[in-house]
Amino acid sequence: MSWHGIKTIAALELRQRLRTSRWPIVFGIWVLLIAGISFLSYWATNDPDLQSGSAMYDIVVFFVLGLSMLIVPSLTATSVNGDREHGVLATLQTTLLTEWDIALGKLLSAWVVALAFLATALPFLAWAWAEGGVSGGRIVLSLFVLVLVLAVVCAIGLMFSTLTARPVSSAVLTYLTMGALVFGTTIGFGLSAFLVTQQEKQQVYGIPDTWWEQHQPPAFDPADPNLTPEQLEEIQKSQRQPTRADCTTFTRTSTVAHTERIWWMLPLNPFVVVADAAPSEARKDNGLYASGFTPMRWISAGVRAARNGPSDVHDECTGYIVNEPLQGSDEGVDDPFSKALDTAPVWPYGLAFLLVAGAGATVLAGSRLKTPIRRLPNGTRIA
């Protein structure tokens, strides 16, 4: 393996790709799509009182990731078995190039093309940044993760193209793998949730059942004019709503989902990795929390909450359940995601998994390109 060898293969691949006329068209469509999405998300989220940058950024980054997961597999998924079909692989294998030169050269060229796609999306991310609400550090981190995820996607396509004889089957297998990573993990998490859901005793901080019993509507007619003062008091009491002061800690048997046992499925999803790497800050309306369309933030908070599992004391008091009479209208509503977002991130696990998978795929691809071949898979031709 040598840089010279890798460069030779990468240059060969890139030159061929540049010369086939479809690529400018694909690039054009790609830019048009991203531009369209950026304009639409700008109009949808633009608000003079709110910084719309974070919503726009989330949409554009997810769109770039989704589209490149459709395009990038096609860069490598047919590269080795396609070369075999054209009878050009063996002519390289009989030269001084090693199998690693060929595997890494093909991977590098596909990655460069994937990065070119990503680079054309940069102006639109810069626009989102200019809209405000997105920090530069966040852009750098999510782009870094995106770049690595794209390399992994390339490596998986490359692996399948060395494993199957026909380009069609390797393309299908690569797309199935992408589907498994994106949808399979989410569906798997959702479906296996019932396995970890059970009835158990739980500490609850909230309004105990005894409070509701004491505040039952009385059994007499409130319209009756002959009510005693005690009865009137009882009616008044039943019309009262609980306040935070009524919250106590008590034990209750309830349905608890132990998502901390199955959360690991979620960060395998590239979308989760990218989202969790740099979730947006909460949207602020004049410095107050305002809900808004921030999908990366939701995904990030959701996955971290799933990882944290049910807390020791289930808090029903803070937040929505108890209608706290507003003491001063300046305080606003608590950010429901801040608690989960303050816990440790999950993306390092997901990224580590994806990188290990990508490295494994590359090693497998390299070993499948090794000649002389001892065992030849069915239907594979050498030259």
Partner 1 sequence: MSIEVQGVRRAFGDVLAVEDISLTAEPGEVTALIGPNGSGKTTLLLMLATLLVPDHGQIRVDGLDPVTQPTEVRAKIGWMPDGFGTWDALTVREVLLTIAAAYRIAPDQARTRADELLHTVHLDDLADRRARVLSRGQKQRLGLARALINDPSVLLLDEPASGLDPRSRIELRDVLRGLAAEGKTVLVSSHILTELQEVADRAVIVARGRSLETQSLDAGFIATATASWRIDSLDPERLATWLEERHVPATKVGGGLTEVEVAGEENAARLLADLVGDGIRVIAFAPSQGALESAYLAATEDRR
Greatest C-alpha distance within the chain: 107
User: Quick check: 74 binds partner 1 (CB under 8 A)?
Assistant: no
Segment lying near partner 1 (by CB under 8 A), choices 83-91, 121-129, 169-177, 307-315? 83-91
Name which position in 26, 40, 91, 261 contacts partner 1 (CB under 8 A). Answer: 91
Cβ closest to partner 1, residue 15 vs residue 261: 15
Residue 375 CB, nearest approach to partner 1 (Å) = 9
Q: ∠ CA 138-143-149 to the nearest 5 degrees? A: 130
Cβ closest to partner 1, residue 13 vs residue 234: 13
The owner of tokens 């995601």 is 337
Segment lying near partner 1 (by CB under 8 A), choices 90-98, 152-160, 162-170, 205-213? 90-98
The owner of tokens 């199935």 is 176
Name which position in 28, 46, 70, 94 contacts partner 1 (CB under 8 A). Answer: 94
Q: Is 107 exposed, middle or buried (0-12, 13-18, 19+ CB in 10 A)?
A: buried
Cβ closest to partner 1, residue 19 vs residue 240: 19
Cβ closest to partner 1, residue 82 vs residue 295: 82
Q: How many whole angstroms from its chain centre is CA 231?
A: 57
Residue 70 CB, nearest approach to partner 1 (Å) = 24
Sheet holding 197-206, edge to edge: 248-257, 197-206, 313-315
The owner of tokens 């068209």 is 25
Name which position in 6, 73, 87, 332 contacts partner 1 (CB under 8 A). Answer: 87
Segment lying near partner 1 (by CB under 8 A), choices 95-103, 116-124, 130-138, 195-203? 95-103
Q: Residue 243's closest CA among 314, 317, 334, 316?
A: 317
Question: What's the CA gap between 174 and 180, in Å, rounded?
Answer: 10
Report 7-66 residues binding partner 1 (CB under 8 A): 8, 12, 15-16, 19-20
Name which position in 5, 157, 302, 350 contacts partner 1 (CB under 8 A). Answer: 5
Residue 74 CB, nearest approach to partner 1 (Å) = 17
Question: What's the CA gap between 256 and 194, in Å, rounded?
Answer: 10
Residue 25 CB, nearest approach to partner 1 (Å) = 16
CB-side neighbour CA atoms (13 Å) of 139: 21
Q: 121-144 burial, b for 16+ CB within 10 Å, e for fewer? A: beebbebbbebebbeeebbeebbe
Question: What's the CA gap between 187 and 176, in Å, rounded?
Answer: 14
Q: Is 51 exposed, middle or buried (0-12, 13-18, 19+ CB in 10 A)?
A: buried
Residue 370 CB, nearest approach to partner 1 (Å) = 9
For the window 107-146, what string marks contact with partner 1 as x by the rule CB under 8 A?
A: ----------------------------------------
Q: Is the torsion defined by CA of 232, 236, 238, 244 positive or negative?
A: negative
Cβ closest to partner 1, residue 319 vs residue 379: 379
Point out which residues bind partner 1 (CB under 8 A): 4-5, 8, 12, 15-16, 19-20, 86-88, 90-98, 371-374, 376, 378, 382-383
